[in-house]
Structure 1
Amino acid sequence: MDAMTPDSFTDLKRQARKQSLDARKAATREARASAATRLWAQLRETRGVVIAGYMPKGSEVSPLTAMRALWRDNTICVPVVTAEGAPLRFREWWPGCPTEEGAFGVEIPTEGGWRVPDILIVPLVAFDAGCNRLGYGGGFYDRTLAGLANARTIGLAVEAQRLVQVPREANDRALDYVVTESGVHRRPGTE
């Protein structure tokens, strides 16, 4: 078998992104709502930690309902792109906090402190049975997760985003869990 060239690997990732984004867009509202409810159920007993959610865009499954519920007993923050090529930073978020449009058209808080999350709820384009994640291609979460090795990572998706195998590079870090409307998928070796 021939070795994969950088261009063919890039094409493979592009095709996987297109397939998964199309599948995510076609997913029902009920599937997205069920995945979000399952996320809250997975975290409902969590108390006194810093949880990074995200402000959803497009057809992403929204973690906002879970974030609102978890805010009562935890500190919630959301990612902020501060520079191209830099890891994400996380700014405190609360229901109704003032926001402005940040990078990529995503709303970000304009007030609140910077936090280091214990748990990250991570958006994704695709995932596989090993909880490998395919993102949008900017590398923001790859750089961020590399610096947060002890944080628990939870992907939020619909089952339609699941691939047989996500194209991976050496610096890609598998998530601990991926929550969908069908259940909680655990990375092999994760409790």
Structure 2
Amino acid sequence: MAAPLTLPVSIDEAKSTARKAAVARRTGQDPGLGIRLIGHLLEGGILPRGAVVAGFWPIQHEIDIRPLLAALHERGHPLGLPVTGRRGEALVFRAWKPGEPLLPGRFGTSHPAGEELTPDVLLIPLLAFDGQGHRLGYGGGFYDRTLAALPDAIRVGCAFADQELDSVPVGSYDQRLHAVVTEAGLRHFP
């Protein structure tokens, strides 16, 4: 009997399948666990003193990093939030302080109207990550373009521990993380 025919799967198909599984894993998680990120990140030795930190406003069941952003602000870190532009463009970051109003953005995001800034550290949302520092995003490529444009910035994924997969499908343009912070701790990647 002949071996079954196996058709190659494109990276796009593999990512689409992984995204569906990752969304299912994240749904039902408690966004309030984001408060645990504060101690892990602030005590993890990854943040340079006074570094400009770009965060994100959580959407779609993402871990809530707003308490972390408030703690970073209290420690004197200038903060920024991303503005999502047109497809094919990198993100732009605008200055923000806790309590300042936000404007509605694309894809259900919110962003400030502050001046543009360049982050030293990026706190990055994701659907999944693996033990090699690869991340699976939503598929627009905004963060990959942004990370390519900011090669010296420290890249920290923010997620629930259950969002870790054995392996994330990776394309040639995908950018790796330096670390991931979850409610369980901070993990550095080589």
* TM-score normalized with structure 2 length: 0.88
Which residue in the other structure is 2:125 paired with?
A: 123
Amino acid at match of 2:12: T
- Matching of residue 156 in structure 1 with residue 162 in structure 2: no
Distance 1:103 1:178 in 2: 25
1:180 and 2:171 are equivalent in the alignment: no
1:8-23 correspondence to structure 2 within 5 Å: 9-23=11-25
Structure 2, unmatched stretches of 5+, are none
Q: Does residue 94 of structure 1 match 2:82?
A: no
Structure 1, gaps ≥5 residues long: none
Q: Larger deviation: 29-38 or 139-148? A: 29-38
| CA distances 1:88-115 after superposition (whole Å, capped 9, x unpaired) | 00000101112110111111112x2100
Larger radius of gyration: 2
In structure 1, the residue corresponding to 2:44 is in which secondary structure? helix
C-alpha separation between the residues in 1 aligned to 2:6 and 2:20? 25
Identity within the alignment, %: 37
Runs of 4+ residues deviating >2 angstroms:
1-6, 26-47
TM-score (norm 1): 0.88
Q: Give the aligned residue type for 1:11.
A: E
Structure 1 stretch displaced more, 44-53 or 136-145: 44-53
Report whether the alignment pairs 1:81 with 2:84.
yes
Contact 1:132 1:173 in 2 (8 A): yes
Q: Secondary structure at the match of 1:10?
A: helix
Deviations 1:31-67 (A, max 9, x none): 4443455334437975322100001102101111111
- Among 107, 111, 115, the alignment partner of 1:108 is 111
Q: RMSD in angstroms over aligned alpha carbons?
A: 2.1
